[in-house]
Amino acid sequence: MKQCLSFIIFWVVFSQFSCEKRFSSELLIIGNPAKFEAKSIDVSEFADSIIYIQIDDSLLLPALGKNFLLIDNYMFFLTKEGLLKYDTKGRFLKKIGIYGNGPGELKHFYSLVTMNKVSECLYVYSYPNTIYSYSFEGDFLGSISVDLPHNAIVTNFYCQDDCFFFFFAHAWEIGAYPLYWVITDLNGKMKMTKQSDKKKNGVVSSTRYGGIFSSSCYNHEFISWDLLNDTVFHVGPFYEKAAFLWGKGDFRIVDTDDYSTVEDKRILCSYFIDAKHFLLLRWRNIGSFSAFYTYYDKKEKKFYKMDDIFINKEVSLSMTTRHFLYFQQNRREYILTQTKARAVEDVPGAIAWGIDPDDPEGNPVLVLIRLKE
């Protein structure tokens, strides 16, 4: 009987170990990008159309940053001028929220914007813990306070599944436990939080190199990664799950680094797209700030290293020198970036408003890259 019981215990432990081993081995390991096979790629390999939207010059907007939202009929941009509303042809419609001290005005310039498409509500997070809400038509609906730690900076703010998602860059204190994300309900009540269980001695210094990042994901989750952590997570309203693993090598920050002397040749991942059919990672070199990409074909199950991805080769419009965002609209996937009117003046239909002779650079032109289904 004792031998039988011992065998059962051994089998349970072995089975659990085997499952864990098998589970971890199923996670895609992101290795050193410098060792991947080189490949030239054109946007047309993963996209079926490119749409250009020139922003009219009613207001001077040197750049739109990452605080913009797109829906079927409107676009919203959070800028130094406040929260602005445009139609999908780039025509300015109205200011919704402005910075000031009056009722419904934004009180702090460090702000982020998200929206609830179902309720047609815009939410503006204002540091350190206030959320202002507006209707799509511009009516001020109210504000709430959110219980967020004051020692961490929110870098990404989303609304999904009747929840607010706050992703953080780092903690201020050296030797702190980095905070990754906080999830609340729409009243600001805490539902879930994720914080490292280990102190990170280089948290503050590492922010100029890596830090913690997040973006949206093809399966309506969010992807969060930290170059001080081995695991890349998918995050939902009530859960987290391991999605990928960073491999070992000199392509990430680790907690044992001497942050004052991190070598110039170190390369770090600065953006990560997890799309339905591929992964796209943007890397930058610490010393030269040069950038390149790795592309992982999910069907082929292979990584490739690319020095560049051209959106339009005829005008040398490249993805390397610009920031981009991934988002979904009407069940389609998009990559969104921006450029100047002068850069695409030879692209038919790209600059509907022409180029202002008093401002030859012109307002930004949004570039929407629609991915293949």
Inform me whether the pLDDT recorded for 14 exceeds 50: no
Least confident window among 46-50, 152-156, 279-283, 353-357: 353-357
Question: Torsions phi, psi of 262, nearest 5?
Answer: -60, 130
> Sorting pLDDT into bands at 50, 70 and 90, what band is 99?
confident
> What amino acid is encoded at 321 in this protein?
T
Here the tokens at position 319 are 């993805």
pLDDT for residue 97:
83
Tell me the one-letter amino acid at 352: A
**How far is residue 366's CA from residue 344's CA, in Å, rounded to a whole number?**
11
Query: What single DSSP character describes residue 359?
Result: B
pTM of this prediction? Answer: 0.85
What pLDDT was estimated at residue 6? 44
pLDDT surpassing 60 at residue 111? yes
**For 354, left (φ over 0), alpha (ψ -120 to 50), or beta?**
left
* pLDDT tier for residue 358 given thresholds of 50, 70 and 90: low
pLDDT in tens, 38-73: 888 788 889 999 999 999 888 877 677 678 898 888
- Read off the tokens for 178: 């980095």
Distance CA 336, CA 368 (A): 5
pLDDT at residue 261, rounded to an integer: 62
- 244 forms beta bridges with 28, 232
DSSP secondary structure code for residue 199 in this structure:
-
Which residue has better confidence, 98 or 286?
98
Q: Cis peptide leading into 364, omega within 30 of 0?
A: no
Please report, for residues 174, 229, 370, the alpha-carbon distance to residue 197 in angstroms, rounded to integers and kept in the order given: 15, 11, 39
Q: How many CB atoms lie within 10 A of CB 214?
A: 24
Euclidean distance between the first and the last CA atom of the chain, given in angstroms as a whole number: 59
Classify domain 33-371 at the CATH topology level.
Answer: Neuraminidase (2.120.10)
Q: Scanning the structure block, which residue is given the tokens 């850069």? A: 343
The residues that bridge with 281 in the sheet, in sequence order, are 272, 294
The answer to whether the Cα torsion of 53, 54, 56, 62 is positive or negative is positive
Burial class (CB in 10 A: 0-12, 13-18, 19+), 129: middle
pLDDT (tens digit per residue) in 137-147: 999 999 999 98
Beta pairing partners, 276: none
How many Cβ atoms from other residues are within 10 Å of residue 367's Cβ?
Answer: 25
> For 104-111, which contacts have Cβ atoms below 8 Å and span 24 or more sequence positions?
104/132, 104/134, 104/140, 106/82, 106/132, 109/80, 111/67, 111/78
